[in-house]
Amino acid sequence: MRIRSNIFVWVFVATILPLTALALGATYFSESTYQHDVSRDVTSNLERLASELKQEMENYRQLTEGMARAPAVQQILPVLNSIRLGQHDARLNIHRSRINHYFEGFQTILKSGYFMRLMDRAGNSLVKVSHLNRSAPVYESVSGIAYVEQEINSPAFSKRLQQLPKGDATAVILPHHQFYPDVFETLKLYDYVVPLYYRNHLVGALSLTLVGEQLDQVMRNASRLFQGKIFVMQNSPDDPERNGLLMYDDKNKLHFVQRRAQPVRAKQHYSEALIDVVSESQFGDLSSADGTSRYFYLELYPYSNLLSNWVMVSQIDTNVITAPFQQIRWVIWICAAIALIISLMLANVGTVRVSNPITELTRKLLDYANGQYQGRIEIRRGIDEIDALTDAFNYMADSLKQSEQGRQRAENMMLQSAKLASIGQMAAGIGHELNNPLNNILSYAKLLERGTQTDQSLNQDVHSLREEAMRASEIIKGILNFARQVPPQYSQFNVREWLDNTLALVQQTARSKAVRLEVNCTYEGMLEGDRSQLQQVMVNLLLNAIQASSRDSSIRIETTMQYDLLHIRVCDQGEGIDEAVLNNIYDPFFTTKAEGDGSGLGLSICLGIIEHHQGTLDIRNNDGAGVTATITLPIHMNS
Pairing of the two strands 309-317 and 139-140: unpaired
Q: Which fold has domain 398-484?
A: Helix Hairpins (1.10.287)
Q: Within its chain, how far is the Cα of 215 from the centroid? A: 46
Q: Which helix (H) or strand (E) holds 445?
A: helix 384-451
Report how far residue 202's alpha carbon sits from residue 157's, in angstroms, rounded to the nearest whole number. Answer: 13
**pLDDT at residue 98 tops 90:** yes
* pLDDT tier for residue 237 given thresholds of 50, 70 and 90: confident
* pLDDT tier for residue 601 given thresholds of 50, 70 and 90: low
487-634 belongs to CATH 3.40.50.2300: no
Cβ–Cβ under 8 Å, residues 207 and 191: yes
What letter would DSSP give residue 265?
B
**pLDDT at residue 474 tops 50:** yes
**Averaged pLDDT, 600-605:** 70
Please report, rounded to a whole number, the percentage of residues in the chain having pLDDT higher than 90. 31
What's the pLDDT at 605? 78
Q: Within its chain, how far is the Cα of 566 from the centroid? A: 33
Q: Which helix (H) or strand (E) holds 247?
A: strand 246-249
Three-class secondary structure assignment of 475-491: HHHHHHHHHHCCCCCCE
State how far the alpha carbon of 425 is from the alpha carbons of 170, 332, 428, 485, 588, in Å.
106, 76, 5, 11, 12
Give the range among 267-281, 326-340, 480-494, 608-622 with minimum mean pLDDT. 480-494
Residues with Cβ within 8 Å of 174's Cβ and at least 6 positions away in sequence, in order, are 117, 123, 157, 191, 193, 207, 209
What's this model's pTM, rounded to 2 decimal places? 0.53
Cβ–Cβ under 8 Å, residues 496 and 557: no
* pLDDT tier for residue 379 given thresholds of 50, 70 and 90: low
Listed residue (529, 479, 468, 544) closest to 499, CA to CA: 529
Report how far residue 168's alpha carbon sits from residue 255's, in angstroms, rounded to the nearest whole number. Answer: 29
DSSP string computed for 343-357: HHHHHHHHHHHHHHH
Domain boundary assignment for the chain: 37-328, 398-484, 487-634
**pLDDT at residue 32 tops 70:** yes
**pLDDT at residue 404 tops 60:** no
Listed residue (51, 33, 38, 49) closest to 294, CA to CA: 38
**pLDDT at residue 264 tops 60:** yes
**Averaged pLDDT, 406-410:** 59
Give the range among 28-37, 103-112, 203-212, 343-352 with minimum mean pLDDT. 343-352
pLDDT digits (tens, 9 = 90+) for 536-578: 888 888 888 888 888 888 999 999 988 889 999 999 988 888 7
**pLDDT at residue 171 tops 70:** yes
Higher pLDDT, 455 or 558: 558
DSSP string computed for 158-193: HHHHHHSPTT--EEE--GGGGG-HHHHTT--SPEEE
Q: How many CB atoms lie within 10 A of CB 454?
A: 7
Supply the mean pLDDT for the chain. Answer: 81
Report how far residue 572's alpha carbon sits from residue 542's, in angstroms, rounded to the nearest whole number. Answer: 9
Q: Which helix (H) or strand (E) holds 36?
A: helix 17-68
| Dihedral sign from CA coordinates of 508, 512, 513, 519 | positive
Class of domain 37-328: alpha beta
Q: How many CB atoms lie within 10 A of CB 393?
A: 17
Q: Does 487-634 match 398-484 at the fold level?
A: no
pLDDT digits (tens, 9 = 90+) for 72-93: 999 999 999 999 988 888 889 9
pLDDT digits (tens, 9 = 90+) for 51-80: 999 999 999 999 999 999 999 999 999 999
**Averaged pLDDT, 260-279:** 89
* pLDDT tier for residue 596 given thresholds of 50, 70 and 90: very low
What's the pLDDT at 403? 61
What letter would DSSP give residue 54?
H
Burial zone of 23 (CB within 10 Å; 0-12 exposed, 13-18 middle, 19+ buried): middle
**Averaged pLDDT, 267-292:** 91
Cβ–Cβ under 8 Å, residues 548 and 559: no
SS3 111: coil
What's the pLDDT at 5? 64
